[in-house]
Structure 1
């Protein structure tokens, strides 16, 4: 009986995580065209995203609260970009699998040519960068008055979005040595040259 339960959980691990790889990394995610819902329940599990460098245009930053299927509330900082170019992209998530221990699902790409994304939004709990250069930066703009970047479709109508809350926007920014802990990523389109997917035993997090 324990053996059957272990096989079931491993099968669930594969069925849940592998499609999420395609969802995050496939070309042409159709959220911008309304094919996919703009709002979704998050799993609540944190994952890591890192980049050697990230160049973005049309930047927005504002606070939100994401919701899990169990109706748990997760405060996040949403960072959006109308267009982003990412070099040295890495995404990792760890899962404890019965009998096998910790497994790390790891995606890498954008090394020889940068990954390109449009209408990209990171829902994060922590963000760090070695250096950031902004142009046209506004700090303290009301979230409801953000115009240089975008507010994700559906967020303006959320009860958790405060139009009078403090936001940030910029015409563009270049970041190096980017390290992010996130609970969700969405994009209109996301093209990742040289994408590599691996499931490895143990801890192989991006940072």
Structure 2
């Protein structure tokens, strides 16, 4: 996969993304307490998320359309996890900086003790998994009838959510070698042991 698809403008990266990462824990707590809505305007820029292993209880997969602040429409596949543990978590954005050249903002964690998240939603434009194991799997269930996994409350109220659309759900799932190109990630809570954030010279995308 080309890393260039995950590139963004440096000015937008510096002004929006870096403060957003620094405030991630505060936003997560506020969402869990119901202070903030789980839905939001996306930037429209893509980034990469990977994990060596993702294990979850309560899994859902359904189609959705995200909206940018400029009201541009971005079709996505939403993966929802009621409770997830992630080993070897990585998130990256590759940017071209004037004068300095290519830079990578890279966030890692969960290398020792796994990261844990509740009501985790990943809005993806592409996904690949080395191996997937499901327990209690249903394929072809109506989106409005999903019960085993979560549906984001903001999505249920969206004009783009089709209750009769095709979805997938399972009681449990284990995904190995997860690689996702995403436009948004949200969670009720997200605990990341050993969180490390750094900017590196060159292209050091997660995959």
Same fold (TM over 0.5): yes
Unaligned 5+ runs, structure 2 = 1-8
What whole-Å deviation, never above 9, does each CA across 1:145-204 have from its counterpart, x for those lacking one?
000111101111101000000001000000111101100000000000001101112211
What whole-Å deviation, never above 9, does each CA across 1:79-124 have from its counterpart, x for those lacking one?
0011000000000012222222222100001011000000000000
1:15-164 alignment, distance < 5 Å: 15-24=15-24, 28-164=28-164
Distance 1:40 1:28 in 2: 13
Distance 2:60 2:23 in 1: 23
Distance 1:94 1:171 in 2: 35
Provide the TM-score with structure 2 as the length reference: 0.90
Q: Which has the larger radius of gyration?
A: 1
Structure 1 residues 94 and 192, CA gap change in structure 2 (3 angstroms): same
Deviation at 1:11, TM superposition (A): 7.0
CA RMSD of aligned residues (A): 1.7
Contact 2:10 2:95 in 1 (8 A): no
What count of residue pairs does the alignment treat as equivalent? 199
Matched residue SS, 2:41: coil
Provide the TM-score with structure 1 as the length reference: 0.90
Distance 1:70 1:28 in 2: 25
Deviation at 1:35, TM superposition (A): 1.5
